[in-house]
Amino acid sequence: MRKKVEISFEGSKRNLPDGWKWVKLRQISRLVSGSTPHRGTSENFNGKIPWIKTLDLNCSVVRQTQECISELAFSQIRGEILPIGTVMVAMYGGAGTIGKSGILGLPATTNQAICSILPNAEVFVPEFLHYWLILIRSEWMQYSSGNRRDPNINKEVVGNMYFPLPPLNEQKRIAAILNEQMEAMEKARQNAIAQLEAAKELPTAYLRDVFNSPETQQWDTKKLGEVGDIVAGITLGNRHNKTNTRSIYCICDIIRRSNCAGALQYIPELTWILFLRILDEQEQKEAETAEALDINFTQSLESPYRWCDWAAPYNNSLFTLDSEQRPQGWKRNLLENFNVWCIISLPAGTFVAAGGGVKANILFFTKGEPTEKIWYYEVQQMFRDASSAPQDLPQFAKNVSNARFKKAQVV
């Protein structure tokens, strides 16, 4: 059973002018949602019936659609032709889409991602209701739900949303004022765009006048190679640059030096690396959305196993998303500034104080230069005196040098 959604819109607690009242949208009109014909049948989308999706909503009057459906498709989905003046709200698509709205400027039907509020001329003015929906767009996400990455709202949520309903004449008066102001704002925006485009053309126009002037016609003409050296750059995929691809090359080399017979054997590992990069970018966007909505966000992977820790280029002006807020690429920076040239893996129990089953590693590094090659030694057995007295550094070094090594390899 679907859980009932309770709307606790803070604005509904405010006092309204005389003659106004708070109502729910389901109390002033009938709400409907549409459907989508089968995409596998091409004939479904070669008709003339306008079919509206969330991409068609423009927070204004919708006068055209990206797609139209056929009469057969319309009958199969048992669609309904909605009249001009219908107010629409997007229910699917996450924070970037939920709450987008529009007013029908032509008879049309919609898909299931849109909730349509049919016009009721005796109760409300569509333009006035639409301006209200634009104002409260940010409120919808708090009522979203679902297991998808982008949660949705439903028709019940839309129907339970509060709406300040003034007398009909007052709605018409306010809507007329807002329409006039919106038209003036749109005209100003178009003028600003035109001025910007004209400004972009000024340098070109000026240079054209200079180089086409009578004086320049007397200048000598030479080829570029005669006045300077022509050199080409390198692509971002070049092995020797310091972009993110260098991390992939390095890891590829490490895997290749192991027991892999060929590149095909470590394609899954490289695929995983690329996946981590994509996951990191996606979660960065989700974290920014969560911050904008003032909700908690938890990354899928913990530090230091994320791309932003060990593979991304070091940048002390960008920080990881966890609570520690370390610079991006902090672990990679350690490898680039400390030459870890040797690792000795000791058997469990070497250091009794740490616990009988605890393994330990000895790292040898030089500060101030990048890690290029790591010699890795795995000690199979340590020989030491029967005495349980603590060992000093020379004695410990002697025991390590006399140890039986299981294997040694370059990584």
pLDDT at 2 over 50: no
Write down the residue that tokens 């079919």 correspond to: 51
Looking at domain 14-178, its CATH class is: alpha beta
Burial of 111 (0-12, 13-18, 19+ CB in 10 A): buried
Say what percent of the chain tops pLDDT 90: 34
Give dist(CA 175, CA 118) in Å, integer: 18
Tens digits of per-residue pLDDT, 164-173? 999 999 999 9
Instruction: Give the pLDDT score at 10.
Output: 60
For residue 252, give the nearest of 276, 273, 236 by alpha carbon.
Answer: 273
Mean pLDDT check: name the lowest of 23-27, 224-228, 347-351, 406-410: 406-410
Residue with more model confidence, 151 or 398:
151
- More confident: 18 or 358: 18
pLDDT value at residue 362:
81
Model confidence at 264, pLDDT cuts 50, 70, 90, reads: low
| Fold that domain 244-328 belongs to in CATH | Ferritin (1.20.1260)
What is the average per-residue pLDDT within 196-221?
85
pLDDT band at 14 (very low <50, low <70, confident <90, very high): confident
Does the pLDDT of residue 257 top 70, yes or no?
A: no
pLDDT computed for residue 1 by the predictor:
42
Whether pLDDT at 388 is above 70 = no
Are 95 and 146 in contact, with CB atoms under 8 Å apart?
Answer: no
Report DSSP letters for 106-146, one per residue.
S-BEE-TTEEEE---TTT--HHHHHHHHHHTGGGGGGG-B-
Which of 10-14, 126-130, 315-319, 360-364: highest mean pLDDT? 126-130
The structural domains of the chain, with segments of one domain joined by +, span 14-178, 244-328, 335-410
pLDDT tens-digit series, residues 286-328 = 877 777 777 777 777 776 677 777 666 666 666 565 555 667 6
Is the confidence at residue 390, as pLDDT, over 90? no
pLDDT band at 240 (very low <50, low <70, confident <90, very high): very low
Q: Which residues contact 29 (CB under 8 A, 6 or more apart)?
A: 117, 118, 119, 120, 123, 124
Q: Tens digits of per-residue pLDDT, 29-74?
A: 999 999 999 988 888 998 999 999 999 999 899 999 999 999 999 9
Runs of H (alpha helix) within 67-111: 71-76
Compute, in degrees rounded to 10, the torsion defined by CA atoms 93, 99, 101, 107.
60
Q: Greater confidence, 303 or 199?
A: 199
The radius of gyration of the chain's CA atoms, rounded to the nearest angstrom, is 34
Token look-up 């971002």 returns: 236
Band (103; pLDDT cuts 50, 70, 90)? very high
